[in-house]
Structure 1
Amino acid sequence: MSEWWTYRLEDFLMFAPATYQRLFGLYNAQVWPAQLLAMPLALLALWTLARRPARWRLACALLAAGWLWTAWAFHWQRYAGIHSAAPWFAAGFALQAGVLAWIARPASPWQASPRAGWPRVAGLALLACAVLLQPWAELLPDRPWQQAALFGLTPDATAVGTLGLLVLLRRPGPWQAGPWLAPLLWCAASAATLWTMAMPAWWWLAGAPLLALAAAASRRSAGLR
């Protein structure tokens, strides 16, 4: 039996890159026409945070729905067929959906950050990239458009977009790490998976959390908790 330090990330990969890519094509075909609802709702969330930040609860509720859908339709129903940990991923995504729904409740102490500045620009940019660019950029260089991983329907874009949302929100008092855990952990796990499969999108899953954390830290240091 090999010693644990002799293992590499590739040794823990449970599927071939082609199998992973094909999963998204099959998933998109099976959930159609959910995309026709997911895309307008994603754009509504982005528009709300950009133009009507006082209505941030709507955007937060929409993201909660995306996490819940991804937990059930992607992780539980499909990803579990090629990854033994997918049921645990489903549980984590469902829990995050509950956290976002709790934040969006009418009595929530959370608020939209009131000031402009680079943290707000970074938050909106992360959400905009997750909705508009990331699903298509991940297709490069040779994946067909039917394998697009859309925001609100698949985990990577949903996690990155949620980091953008959290940058745009604040809660009086000490920094609350709970809502950040699931998107940060997923980005780290997915970046490792994509890197192992030599898929160039890994760098975005690794870099987006760093940008989000830097923006949140800058906002706190400026007294915008």
Structure 2
Amino acid sequence: MNDWASYRLQDFIPFTADVYLRLLERMGETFWPLHLLTLALGAAALVLAFKGHTRLACLLPAPLWAFVAIAFFMQRYAELNWAGGYVGYAFIAQAVLLALIGLTGFGLDTTPRRTSPPVVIGAAITLFGLVILPLMALLTGSSWYQAQVFGIHADPTAITTLGLALILLRSLALWIAAVIPALWMLVSGLTLQVLNTSGAGALFAILAIALLGVVWKSIESCSAHHSG
């Protein structure tokens, strides 16, 4: 027990900020210009969500989660941290979950109110993951290849999907689909905090807002069910 108490968070992150940023850059260099396709898929999912094509909107991010699982975590992140492979399996599980929801229609909110606060929150979070997060790297003087992009890097993939879930899903399905993106955002935020790099505060803020949206939408769904 005393041995475990002596560990600090830093002990579980066996790499430096420079090494981690170089990992992000390698992903950008290796897979450019795939970024254009993944961003287009993310934008398409958002548009489809608001047009009522909920199943397709849920299916589009699924293969991107599998890609990030293999290309980012299993093939690269795992070289820096032994836990990378396990996180990769979690991302594959999320890919399977999104595909199953899209194929079966389980938990899909087929009549989302566009002006509902949770849906507005979801749209804002989705746009943050698709647009703002990549721009943050450029505004801080980093290279384009270090910019984190939806479907290529883990953070924007988790953020964007969490935003889409707020628009597309309800009740139990929303909670289930939010677990893995939320946990990764927490882990990534803590990692960035330990490495003393920018971005941790933004991740924690987005996570808190997203969880507020999930709770809010759950309360709305319960109210609608009881009134019906």
Structure 2 length normalisation: TM-score? 0.88
Report what 1:184 is aligned to.
182
Answer whether contact 1:170 1:224 (CA < 8 A) is retained.
no
Structure 1 window deviating more from structure 2 (149-158 vs 133-142): it is 133-142
1:186-208 deviations in Å (ceiling 9; x for gaps): 01110100011112201122121
Answer whether contact 1:99 1:179 (CA < 8 A) is retained.
yes
Distance change (3 Å), C-alpha of 1:201 and 1:113: farther
Answer whether contact 1:70 1:93 (CA < 8 A) is retained.
yes
Report what 2:155 is aligned to.
156
Answer whether contact 2:61 2:98 (CA < 8 A) is retained.
yes
Report what 1:81 is aligned to.
79
Q: Which runs of 5+ in 2 are unaligned?
A: none
What does 1:200-215 correspond to in 2, within 5 Å?
200-215=198-213
Question: How far is 1:20 from its partner?
Answer: 0.5
Question: How far is 1:175 from its partner?
Answer: 6.4
Report what 2:129 is aligned to.
130
Distance 1:206 1:113 in 2: 30
Structure 1 window deviating more from structure 2 (178-187 vs 29-38): it is 29-38
Report what 1:195 is aligned to.
193
Residue 177 of structure 1 aligns to a residue in which SS?
A: helix
Distance change (3 Å), C-alpha of 1:25 and 1:107: closer
Report what 2:45 is aligned to.
45
Answer whether contact 2:106 2:173 (CA < 8 A) is retained.
no
Residue 122 of structure 1 aligns to a residue in which SS?
A: helix
Answer whether contact 2:35 2:151 (CA < 8 A) is retained.
no
Aligned length, in residue pairs: 221
Distance 2:76 2:25 in 1: 11
What does 1:80-159 correspond to in 2, within 5 Å?
80-115=78-113, 116-138=115-137, 140-159=139-158
Report what 1:8 is aligned to.
8
Residue 22 of structure 1 aligns to a residue in which SS?
A: helix
Q: Which runs of 5+ in 1 are unaligned?
A: none
1:58-106 deviations in Å (ceiling 9; x for gaps): 2211111111110111111111111111110110000000000011015
Question: How far is 1:162 from its partner?
Answer: 1.3
Answer whether contact 1:113 1:169 (CA < 8 A) is retained.
no
Distance 1:77 1:176 in 2: 30
Answer whether contact 1:131 1:161 (CA < 8 A) is retained.
yes
Question: How far is 1:46 from its partner?
Answer: 2.0
Question: How far is 1:108 from its partner?
Answer: 3.2
Distance 1:109 1:141 in 2: 40
Answer whether contact 1:113 1:224 (CA < 8 A) is retained.
no
What is the CA RMSD across the aligned residues, in angstroms?
A: 2.0
Distance change (3 Å), C-alpha of 1:93 and 1:192: same
Answer whether contact 2:189 2:200 (CA < 8 A) is retained.
yes
Answer whether contact 2:101 2:108 (CA < 8 A) is retained.
yes
Which amino acid in 2 is paired with 1:49? Answer: A
Distance 1:143 1:8 in 2: 29
Distance 2:192 2:111 in 1: 33
1:157-196 deviations in Å (ceiling 9; x for gaps): 1111111112113346x56532221111101110100011
What does 1:59-78 correspond to in 2, within 5 Å?
59-78=57-76
Higher helix proportion, which one?
A: 2
Distance 1:195 1:202 in 2: 6
